[in-house]
Amino acid sequence: MLAGLFALQGCARTDKALYPAPDNLELAPVQQREFVESFLQGRWCEAESLFAMSLENYLRQDDFCSAAHNYLLFWRLKAYLGEDDAKTMESAKRMKRLGLGCPGDKRLSFLDADSRNQDFSPKDQAYRSLLEKEKFSAVMNRLNAEKDRLFVSVYSRKAGLLALDRGEEKIAGAFFEKARTVDAQLGWVVFLREDWRLLMRLAKIPEEKQAIADRIGYLDGLVQPCRK
């Protein structure tokens, strides 16, 4: 009987780890994606909560490099809206230091650049190069084939702003409308507000401008910041 009992215990050990990792730790990357999505949809309080949960789960795994990536993602989201959050950037750099520099982690190479404008992904560099040369048709063709809709949203606005500065209102309107279409499909309210603010600059009729302003007001009401 004792021999049989020991045999059963041995089988149990091979089937299941004696100290299995907590399930919540595996949620860190999921929570990271969800906080990005919540931020873009204007659910900022929910985004902060998901960010905090993801950050904690990464730190509980002693993964300071992924924690740094969390902060860098949050900084980028705010930068897309024109906010250079120095505190969040400093937190990203601090986590990277605590991660002993995170050697080889390409997600964090942006933090090593002497100038933030010197270190972009190859995809970013390709878009930026086309914009510097004002090749609007090539940018539009690339955006039409782009699978990452965040790139479509962000670079459509960038291209539209450049075209607007060059007096190319028709081209600018096409880029702004492309961004608006993507943002509407995904419910990215924070970007939709920016799209309509830019489209309002192209409106010629006072009634149209007022309608757009009212529309932006409704979108503003959908953003849910945390009440401190």
pLDDT digits (tens, 9 = 90+) for 24-59: 677 888 999 999 999 999 999 999 999 999 999 999
Give the whole-angstrom CA distance, residue 113 versus residue 33.
25
Tell me which long-range contacts 206-212 makes (C-beta under 8 A, separation of at least 24). Answer: none
pLDDT for the residue numbered 3: 40
Give the whole-angstrom CA distance, residue 21 versus residue 95.
23
Give the whole-angstrom CA distance, residue 84 versus residue 92.
13
Give the whole-angstrom CA distance, residue 186 versus residue 176.
16
- Amino acid identity, residue 123? K
pLDDT at 200 over 80: yes
Nearest alpha carbon to residue 70 among 99, 43, 42: 99
pLDDT for the residue numbered 22: 65
Angle, helix 64-80 to helix 44-60, in steps of 10 degrees: 160
pLDDT at 12 over 60: no
Please state the rounded mean pLDDT for residues 161-171: 97
Give the whole-angstrom CA distance, residue 8 versus residue 61.
32
Query: 107 falls in which pLDDT band (50, 70, 90)?
Result: confident
Please state the rounded mean pLDDT for residues 56-67: 95
Residue 201, both tokens = 């600059």
pLDDT for the residue numbered 44: 93
Sign of the alpha-carbon dihedral angle for 178, 179, 180, 182? positive
Total residue length of the chain: 228
pTM here? 0.81
The more confidently predicted of residues 143 and 9 is: 143
pLDDT for the residue numbered 80: 87
- Amino acid identity, residue 32? Q
Residue 220, both tokens = 């503003």
pLDDT for the residue numbered 81: 86
Average pLDDT score, the chain: 88
Q: Assess contact for 168 and 176: CB atoms under 8 A.
A: no
End-to-end CA distance of the chain: 64
Q: Assess contact for 191 and 210: CB atoms under 8 A.
A: no
Query: 106 falls in which pLDDT band (50, 70, 90)?
Result: confident
DSSP string, 78-115: HHHTT---HHHHHHHHHHHHHTTT-TT-GGGGGGG-SS
